[in-house]
Structure 1
Amino acid sequence: MTQAPILTVTLNPALDISTAVDHVRPDVKLRCDAPAIDPGGGGVNVSRAIAVLGGESTAVVALGGPVGQHIADMLRAVGLPMIAIQAPGDTRQSFAVIDRESRQQYRFVMPGPEWSKADTDRSLDVIAKAARAGFVVLSGSNPPGVGAEYAARLAERLTRGDAGLIVDTSGAALKAVAEGGHGVALLRMDAEEAAGLAGRELTARADTAAFAASLVAAGAAQAVIVARGGDGNIIASGGGAWHAEAAKVEVVSKVGAGDSFVAGFTLGLARGHSPQDALGLGAAMASATCMTPATELCRAEDVERLFAARVISRL
C-alpha cells in the first residue's frame, strides 16, 4: 500500500518501564512483577504504532547515555528507521505501576536532560534536512530548556518544503501554537487542554467543535483535533467538523493511546484517506491500544475490526 513519507520527532524520549503490584501503599517494600520495558516518548510511540499496521516512518530521536543507547538498540532490533540526535544528557526513564486491588495505574515521569540553545538549533537543522514531502509529527513534551516556541520555529523551517507539520503537545508549547500564524497542518489536544485554552468548559460536542473551528479560523492550524476521551474525537477544518465515536472496549491500560491516535490519523492521511476516515483510524488505534497491557501498543487485528465498525458523523 502506497503512502506519503512520515517523519516523527521525539525530543524527550523515555525508556518506559511498567509493572504491577497487589496494592500500592507507603513505607513498605512493594514486590513487583517482572517489568515490561519499551522505548517510549510521543514520536517513538507514533512510529511504533504506525509499524503495527504495516506503515513506514522514520523516527528522529534525541538520545544520550546508556539509557539512550538501550532505546536505540531496541528500535534497531525491531527494524524501525531512526535518525539519532545527540542529547545533552542521559535519556530519562518513566515508570508505570498497576495496583491490582484498585485496578488503577500510577505513572511516574522524569523530566529529561536540560537543553541549550545550541542543542535546540541543531535539532531543527536535523529535522529540516530529513523532512520530505508528506508529514512531520512533533509529539510529546519538550525537554527542559526547549522553549514553548519550538513548534512554531519548526513550522517556519518546514514551510520551505512540502511537509505538513502535525503537533501533539501540551502546556505552554500548545498555547504558543494555538496563538496561530505558524502554518501548522494539524494541532491535536485533549478536552481538558481545549477547555484551558478556551477559558471555559466545553461540555457538549458542539461546544468543542465550535472552539476547534475558531482555532482554525484564527490560523492556529489547518485542522484541529480535540480528544474527548470516552466521548470520542472531533476534528474541525475549513471543510467542516466531524465526530468519531470511541469504541466500547475494556480498558486495560491507557498508556500510549494518545500517541496511537496520532499514528492512525497520520497514517490514514498518508495513505490518502479523507480526514474523517483518518479520524476513524486514529480512534480505532487509540481504542485498540487501551485493550493491551502496560506499554504495549495496539494489535493490527483489533485495529482492523474497530476501524471497520467506525461511526463517523458530521457536526
Structure 2
Amino acid sequence: MRDILTVTLNPALDLATSAFQVRPNEKLRCAQPHPDPGGGGLNVARAVHQLGGTARPFVALGGNTGSVVKQLLENAGLDIIVHDAPGDTRQSLAVTDLSTSEQFRFMLAGPDWNAAQLQAMRISLAAIAKPNGFIVLSGSGPNGASPNLYAEICQDLSQIDAEILIDTSGPPLAHLAAGQDRPPFLLRMDQHEAETLARRPLVTRKDSADFAKHLVDQGAARTVIVARGRDGSVLADGQQQLRVNAANIEVRSRVGAGDSFIGGFTMALARDLPLGEAFRHGAAAASAACMTEGTQLCLLPDFQAVLPLTQIETL
C-alpha cells in the first residue's frame, strides 16, 4: 500500500451528545459527551485506519485541548506527526435532538497563525512528504491563512511525485476552483458548495457532472467530485463522467461522511485500484459513516455490507 499523509491544520476535539429536545433560552440537560479527535484530515486518517489501512496524520496541536486530542489519536493506534500550533486547539459540539433526530453542530474557532508560523508549517510538511504517495489536505485552513494556502502547499510539493487530494470549503475552495498552475489530483465538494461556485442550481446529476468537468477544464484539479447527498456523487476527470449511488441505509449521523468518503477513496487508490473502483469505495465508506452514532466514522463491517450495494454508472 502506498503512503497516505493526511494534513489537519485546524483540528478539533469533537464532542457528541444528545438532549431530549433542543429549545432556545433553556438549560438543556445533555447525555455524557463522547470525545473524538476531529478535523478533516484526522477524520480521513481515522477512516483509513478503521477500514484496515494505514495513514500518517500531520496535525497542528496546541494547549490542553491539543494534548487531549493527541492522547485520543494515540489510543486509536494512529502514528501521528505533531506540529506545534500557536494556540489552544479548538473544540466542536454535535448535539442530537432526540425528539426529532435532528443534529445541531457548533464549530468553535481555532488559534490565529502569523506568516512566519505558516511558513514554518509548510517547510515541515514538505520535509515529511513521501514520493509516490497520496497527500490529503482536508478541512478548514488555520485562522490567519490566506485563501491560497492549499494552492501554495501544492506548489511546495510539486517536486515530489505524489498525488494531492483536497476537500475544503469557503474562500480556499473558491481560490482552487478558479484554476491553478499546478492543479491537485482531486478536488471534492458537496452540492451546495458546487452550486455556490456555479452561481446557479445544479438540478440533475448531469448538471453537477458537467460543472465538475468545467472545473477540470479550467485547471481546478485533474479530477473533481461533487457529492449530491442521498443522490450519490458524480465525478469528472476530463475523459469520463461517472455517478455512484448512495446505499439505502438508516442514517444515524452524517458527521464525518465526507471525510470517510475521502478515506475510502484514497485507500483504494493507495492499493492501486482503478479510479472508478476507488470512487465506489469512497461512496461505501461515506454510507458506512452514516450508519454509526455521533462521530464514530465508518466501520469495516458496515463498509463491507454496503459495498455490494454501491454501483457506478457512466453519465
**Residue identity in the other structure for 1:7:** L
State the Cα deviation string for residues 226-279 of structure 1 (Å, max 9, x = none).
Answer: 000010011100321110000011111111111001111111111111111111
| Offset, 1:122 | 1.1
Aligned ranges 1:72-91 → 2 under 5 Å: 72-91=70-89
1:150 and 2:149 correspond:
yes
Name the residue aligned to 1:184: 184
Structure 1: any 5+ residue segments left out of the alignment?
none
Name the residue aligned to 2:55: 57
Separation in 2, partners of 1:217, 1:10? 28
- Larger displacement relative to structure 2 (58-67 or 24-33): 24-33
Separation in 2, partners of 1:90, 1:80? 21
**Residue identity in the other structure for 2:221:** A
Moved beyond 4 Å, runs of 4+: none
Q: The residue matched to 2:295 in structure 1 has which SS?
A: coil
Separation in 1, partners of 2:24, 2:170? 30
- Superposed CA RMSD in Å reads 0.9
| Offset, 1:169 | 0.3
Name the residue aligned to 2:236: 236
Name the residue aligned to 1:175: 174
Structure 2: any 5+ residue segments left out of the alignment?
none
Name the residue aligned to 2:139: 140
Name the residue aligned to 2:66: 68
Percentage of pairs with the same residue: 47
Name the residue aligned to 2:19: 21
Separation in 2, partners of 1:151, 1:30? 39
Q: The residue matched to 1:224 in structure 2 has which SS?
A: strand
Name the residue aligned to 2:253: 253
Do the aligned partners of 2:51 and 2:298 also contact (CA within 8 Å) in 1? no
Q: The residue matched to 1:97 in structure 2 has which SS?
A: strand
Q: The residue matched to 1:276 in structure 2 has which SS?
A: helix
**Residue identity in the other structure for 2:264:** G
1:166 and 2:181 correspond:
no
Separation in 2, partners of 1:310, 1:32? 36
**Residue identity in the other structure for 1:32:** C
Name the residue aligned to 1:306: 306
Name the residue aligned to 1:263: 263
**Residue identity in the other structure for 2:146:** G
Name the residue aligned to 2:115: 117
State the Cα deviation string for residues 141-190 of structure 1 (Å, max 9, x = none).
Answer: 11210111011101001111111110100010001111112321100000
1:216 and 2:216 correspond:
yes
Separation in 2, partners of 1:78, 1:95? 20
**Residue identity in the other structure for 2:239:** G
State the Cα deviation string for residues 5-26 of structure 1 (Å, max 9, x = none).
Answer: 0000000000000111111112
| Offset, 1:308 | 2.3
Q: The residue matched to 1:297 in structure 2 has which SS?
A: coil
Q: The residue matched to 1:238 in structure 2 has which SS?
A: coil
Separation in 2, partners of 1:35, 1:197? 36
Scaled by the length of structure 1, the TM-score of the pair is 0.98
State the Cα deviation string for residues 195-233 of structure 1 (Å, max 9, x = none).
Answer: 111111111111111110111111111100000001001
Separation in 2, partners of 1:299, 1:78? 13
State the Cα deviation string for residues 12-51 of structure 1 (Å, max 9, x = none).
Answer: 0000001111111123221111111101100000000000
